[in-house]
Amino acid sequence: MSTTDTSAPEGKTVTQKKEITPRQALIKRALKNRNLMVSGGILLLIVLIAIFAPLLAPHDPYKQNLLARMVRPAFMGGDSKHLLGTDALGRDMLSRLLYGARVSLGVGLLATLMSGIIGTTMGLLAGYFGGRIDQVVQFLINVRLALPAILVALACVSLFGGSITVVTITLGLLLWDRFAVVIRAATMQLRNMEYVAAAEVLGARMPRILRKDILPNVTSQLVVIASLEMASAIMLEAGLSFLGLGVQPPTPSWGLMISEGKEMLLFESWLITIPGICLFVLVFAINVFGDGIRDISSPEGRN
Amino acid sequence: MSDTQDTVLSIRNLTIDLPEGGDRPHAVENLNLDVKRNEIVCIVGESGSGKSITSFTTMGLLPRVLKPSQGEVLFEGTDVLKLSDKQHSKLRGNRMAMIFQEPMSALNPCYTVGDQIEEVFATHSSMTKSERRARTIKLLDEVHLPEPERIYHSFPHQLSGGQRQRIVIAIALAMDPALLIADEPTTALDVTTQAQILSLFKQLKETHSAGIMFVTHDFDVVAEIADRVVVMQKGLVVEQGTADEVLNRPKHPYTRQLIDAVPRRTREAPPSIEGNEVVMKVVALEKTFHTSRTLFAPARTVKAVQDVNLTIRKGETLGIVGESGSGKSTLVRCLIRLTDIDDGAVWIGGKEFSRVPRGQLHDWRKKIQIIFQDPYGSLNPRRTIGDQLVEGPVNFGVPRKVAMQKARELLRIVRMEQDALHRYPNQFSGGQRQRICIARALMVEPEILIADESVSALDVSVQKEVLNLLAEIKEEMGLTMLFITHDLRVAAQVSDNIVVMNKGQIVERGNADQVFSNPQNDYTKKLLAAMPGQGWEVPDIAALERAGA
């Protein structure tokens, strides 16, 4: 064979023998998993909406029209010009929701990525080396767990001012505890596996062992925590915005929209329910998706 | 078989279907089997032969996906297949009882041993608390547990493996069952413990006049206790008869193959290695483990390895024999430097391996490789076989392409298909995985190969295959081998020289013949005496085949 990458060319020869490559098998399992397909579909839809919001939005999300305040959605007797009605300042709800998806997804993804990297690194090192390093990491985890996330986030945001950047970074620096705890425990367990000892005996150095032998075997845990944390980051952002300390108006954010609608809760409840439903669907889809990924990718699921 | 009075269990034409997509349509097919009073019937077969399914069916513990489609299981005249769950559970633990393989997981760690035995009485009888207690103490005494009163109040984790298995047996015996089913009850135990448990079974057969169905894969155990033997292969009974018939005059080719795979106690004289250069030298190796004091337990020091001296010459196979806790695994970890030693030295080819600084260790790793015990835990489930095979050479700077070529070559040597390279470990059986591990260790062309209980987890015939493969490869590549095992038979078969370890120390050493025929140390004598199947001279299968053909 003339390539260094083994999977591509040899994959073909295997296919000729009516064998399926691991990747094909993975795709096949994914297609069979209904939860994964449905939640994946919803997520894909939301991502596409966020990307193509400028093309999809029927109106300018920032444009106020005080003459058309709180127009009801079309299905509640409003007109078809504003499908989901308008808010207290006469801005089109649908357009604001479409743009708001960007904030929710962006904050969720970036904050999870940041905390995932921090937490996983800490967990891997603590679990692999144990001893002093483990003690330090455990101390940090305990310190972090002793601080209520929402309180710290509130403090940071009020110190540095509310903006998407500040909210994202604050959440990213706050939500790593679960990653660290779970990955540390999983690594400690894997550390004693014979294949890790075998890799060591075969001359693999520490970073390589972590990357090749430990990290791939904690991915199922990683995916599940990431989905939980992403959902919780989105909720926290919404919460902060709701409290007026997160994303600042007039930027459209689902949390902010809920906050803005709260004064009219008793009179025009759809102002809150529509962004609320969006938030619920997104968070739910992320959780189900995480579970699905774990199910299809774990070695026990293979056959 | 004619006297129904004496027949406890009679299985007739039993067929159990496997769910679709299995490797065969039936888990068990057309099974006929009788167990009488005062009789031990051994069911022998390799993993997947349907022997456990048979015992589960009788106990009514079959997984839901498996359904008996035909036949009957007559227990004292009633067909248990027709019983409802409730009726069946009245029999279980009462008239029929089961002993499992793993004594650790068969007992509940949250209750004392006494409570767990008494529970049987509480379920199946209307004894008072004090009666139950008296009976329990009597049972503990009957299974030869020391200080029954103390054991009564112990938790499972405070007892040794052998003691736990005795508790499980006591629970099974509680209601004086007519049928006792034992599923590999001694497989997880050390030789000396196994010998005690086996003699306990022989006694029970007499004292309780029960029928015992004993599932095992080990022909030496069969030789030790069986009255009658049933040999199963792929769900079919291929041979059954009295112990004497099956063991000494096996008729079916599969039985012959299995008996032929039983490790022989002798081997032909090994080529002399006296003058060869010394490859590895271990001098006064010490390793002690300390656990620091906690709130609940005082500090402890365990001397895992004490004053071990070894000299291994090129081409030699050194067997290190010891029971669990003898320090042999710690010794291995010290030799390959997965653990640092406390004192002493390990010399490999004129270099003090044990003193090589961590940073340079990399370059010396190549010389010594290891094959681990557990074929399931020693391969990374997330990496393809090819990726894991090239790991070693790639770490030592060989280009991936060249390493892949070598991986192919080695797969051929260990008799595996080339397409294994792109598969994941879970697609292979235990024996295949162990061959992959051998290939992986050989990828870096080591001088010394350590086999740490490498065949213990395998079926007899697979075990034989792997042992032969190792012997061949050793010859071909001029390897030096350290063979660590708890199984004296295997050690006798492969080793030139043997050291026996007990409690971290070497208690006996010498060439294999010498150690086996004329042991000096008391512990070695005890080990040898505990080997099952002593009275059985394994028949010469080749001669039988010639006579039969």
CATH number at residue A75: 1.10.3720.10
Tell me, yes or no, whether B168 lies in a domain.
yes
Domain span at residue A222 reads 46-61+71-301
pLDDT at position B460, please? 78
User: What's the rounded mean pLDDT across residues A162-170?
Assistant: 86
CB-based contact (8 Å) between B275 and chain A? no
Strand order from edge to edge, sheet including B300-313: B300-313, B278-291, B343-348, B351-352
pLDDT at position A123, please? 94
d(CA A249, CA A99): 13
Tell me, yes or no, whether A192 lies in a domain.
yes
Contact check, Cβ <8 Å, A203/B396: yes
Contact check, Cβ <8 Å, B422/A10: yes
Continuous H helices in chain A: 7-16, 22-32, 34-51, 53-56, 93-129, 131-146, 149-160, 164-174, 177-191, 194-201, 206-208, 215-242, 254-261, 270-297
pLDDT digits (tens, 9 = 90+) for A253-296: 887 888 787 777 787 788 888 888 888 898 889 889 888 888 88
Whether B170 and B117 share a structural domain: yes
Domain termination residue (choose one: B232, B260, B288) = B260
Lowest mean pLDDT: which of A132-141, A202-211, A225-234, B265-274?
Answer: B265-274
Domain count, chain B: 2
User: What's the rounded mean pLDDT across residues B354-369?
Assistant: 81
Lowest mean pLDDT: which of A211-225, B257-271, B343-357?
Answer: B257-271
Contact check, Cβ <8 Å, B422/A17: no
| A13 or B42, which is more confident | B42
| B377 closest CB neighbour out of A1, A6, A193 | A193
Percent of chain B with pLDDT over 90: 3
| A195 or A82, which is more confident | A195
Q: pLDDT-based confidence at B299, cuts 50/70/90?
A: confident
Q: What 8-state DSSP symbol labels residue A213?
A: I
| A217 closest CB neighbour out of B381, B404, B424 | B381
Lowest mean pLDDT: which of A1-10, B238-247, B373-382?
Answer: A1-10
From B339, which residue of chain A is nearest by alpha-carbon distance?
A: A197
pLDDT at A8 over 60: no
Give the residue from A227, A219, A178 showing the smallest Cα distance to A39. Answer: A227
Amino acid at B154: S
pLDDT at position A120, please? 94
Whether B146 and B23 share a structural domain: no
Tell me, yes or no, whether A267 lies in a domain.
yes
pLDDT at position A143, please? 92
Q: Which residues of A touch B421 (CB under 8 A)?
A: 6, 10
Domain termination residue (choose one: B207, B225, B260) = B260
Contact check, Cβ <8 Å, B384/A22: yes
Tell me, yes or no, whether B89 lies in a domain.
yes
Tell me, yes or no, whether A66 lies in a domain.
no
Whether B68 and B184 share a structural domain: yes
Percent of chain B with pLDDT over 70: 95
CB burial readout B248-282, b (16+ within 10 A) else e: eebeeebbbebbbbbbebeeeebeebeeeeebbbb
Tell me, yes or no, whether A31 lies in a domain.
no
- CB-based contacts of B423: which residues, under 8 Å, 6+ apart? A22, B384, B385
Best interface-test mutation with B: which of A201, A205, A208 has the largest number of B CBs within 10 A?
A201
CB-based contact (8 Å) between B492 and chain A? no
CB burial readout B8-37, b (16+ within 10 A) else e: bbbbeebbbbbeeeeeeebbbbebebbbbb
Whether B196 and B250 share a structural domain: yes
Contact check, Cβ <8 Å, A213/B383: yes
The most confident of A84-93, B18-27, B357-366, B504-513, by mean pLDDT? B504-513
pLDDT at position A4, please? 40
Give the distance, in angstroms, between the CA of residue B412 and the centroid of all CA atoms in the same chain: 28
CB-based contact (8 Å) between A211 and chain B? no
User: What's the rounded mean pLDDT across residues B257-265?
Assistant: 78
User: What's the rounded mean pLDDT across residues B500-504?
Assistant: 87
CB-based contact (8 Å) between B374 and chain A? yes
Q: What tokens appear for A302 in the block?
A: 């293979």
User: What's the rounded mean pLDDT across residues B465-493?
Assistant: 85
Instruction: Give the closest-approach CA distance of A26 to chain B in angstroms.
Output: 12
pLDDT at position A11, please? 37
pLDDT at B519 over 70: yes
| B380 closest CB neighbour out of A7, A213, A300 | A213
d(CA A222, CA A224): 5
Whether B60 and B107 share a structural domain: no
Whether B82 and B125 share a structural domain: no
pLDDT digits (tens, 9 = 90+) for A209-263: 998 889 988 888 888 888 888 888 888 888 888 887 877 778 888 878 887 877 7
Tell me, yes or no, whether A182 lies in a domain.
yes
Instruction: Give the closest-approach CA distance of B389 to chain A in angstroms.
Output: 10
pLDDT at B273 over 80: no
Contact check, Cβ <8 Å, A299/B381: yes
Angle at A190 between CA A188 and CA A193, to 5 degrees: 125
Tell me, yes or no, whether B439 lies in a domain.
no
pLDDT at A87 over 70: yes
Q: Which residues of B touch A205 (CB under 8 A)?
A: 362, 395
Contact check, Cβ <8 Å, B391/A212: yes
pLDDT digits (tens, 9 = 90+) for B1-36: 445 557 888 888 888 887 776 667 888 888 888 888
Lowest mean pLDDT: which of A65-79, A83-97, A130-144, B508-522?
Answer: A65-79
pLDDT digits (tens, 9 = 90+) for B225-241: 889 999 988 888 888 88
Contact check, Cβ <8 Å, A213/B374: no
pLDDT at position A181, please? 94
pLDDT digits (tens, 9 = 90+) for B164-209: 888 888 888 888 888 889 888 887 777 888 888 888 888 888 887 8
From B402, which residue of chain A is nearest by alpha-carbon distance?
A: A4
Domain count, chain A: 1
CB burial readout A199-210, b (16+ within 10 A) else e: bbbbbbeeeebb
| A216 closest CB neighbour out of B378, B382, B422 | B382
Whether B58 and B193 share a structural domain: yes
| B419 closest CB neighbour out of A2, A17, A203 | A17
Tell me, yes or no, whether B499 lies in a domain.
no
Q: Which residues of A touch B381 (CB under 8 A)?
A: 217, 299
pLDDT at position A124, please? 93
Whether B211 and B249 share a structural domain: yes
Q: Please, which residues bridge with residue B287 across strands?
A: B305
pLDDT at B94 over 60: yes
From B397, which residue of chain A is nearest by alpha-carbon distance?
A: A203
Whether B182 and B89 share a structural domain: yes
pLDDT at position A133, please? 92
Q: Please, which residues bridge with residue B213 across strands?
A: B41, B181
Tell me, yes or no, whether B402 lies in a domain.
no
Tell me, yes or no, whether B406 lies in a domain.
no
d(CA A165, CA A169): 6
Domain span at residue B204 reads 1-95+177-260
Instruction: Give the closest-approach CA distance of B384 to chain A in angstroms.
Output: 9
From A13, which residue of chain B is nearest by alpha-carbon distance?
A: B419
CATH code, B13: 3.40.50.300
Tell me, yes or no, whether B87 lies in a domain.
yes
pLDDT at position A65, please? 77
Contact check, Cβ <8 Å, A14/B368: no
Whether B119 and B246 share a structural domain: no
pLDDT at position B172, please? 86
Whether B83 and B186 share a structural domain: yes
Q: pLDDT-based confidence at A113, cuts 50/70/90?
A: very high
From A212, which residue of chain B is nearest by alpha-carbon distance?
A: B383
What ipTM was predicted for this assembly? 0.72
Tell me, yes or no, whether A89 lies in a domain.
yes
Amino acid at A89: L
Domain termination residue (choose one: B260, B288, B305) = B260
pLDDT at B69 over 90: no
Contact check, Cβ <8 Å, A216/B383: yes
| B400 closest CB neighbour out of A4, A300, A302 | A4
Contact check, Cβ <8 Å, B377/A6: no
Contact check, Cβ <8 Å, A302/B426: yes
pLDDT at B267 over 80: no
User: Could you tell me how many CB contacts below 8 A there are between chain A and chain B?
Assistant: 99
The rounded mean pLDDT for chain B is 83
Whether B156 and B12 share a structural domain: no
Tell me, yes or no, whether A11 lies in a domain.
no
Tell me, yes or no, whether B505 lies in a domain.
no
Give the distance, in angstroms, between the CA of residue B159 and the centroid of all CA atoms in the same chain: 20
pLDDT at A142 over 90: yes
CB-based contact (8 Å) between B399 and chain A? yes
Q: What tokens appear for B156 in the block?
A: 């499972």
Q: pLDDT-based confidence at A3, cuts 50/70/90?
A: very low
pLDDT at position B271, please? 63
d(CA B476, CA B481): 13
The rounded mean pLDDT for chain A is 82
User: What's the rounded mean pLDDT across residues A87-116?
Assistant: 87
CB-based contact (8 Å) between B365 and chain A? yes
CB-based contact (8 Å) between A208 and chain B? yes
CB-based contact (8 Å) between B381 and chain A? yes
pLDDT at B456 over 80: no
Q: Which residues of B touch A302 (CB under 8 A)?
A: 424, 426-427
| A6 closest CB neighbour out of B374, B386, B427 | B386
Contact check, Cβ <8 Å, B404/A6: yes
From A193, which residue of chain B is nearest by alpha-carbon distance?
A: B377
CB-based contact (8 Å) between B378 and chain A? yes
pLDDT at position B261, please? 81
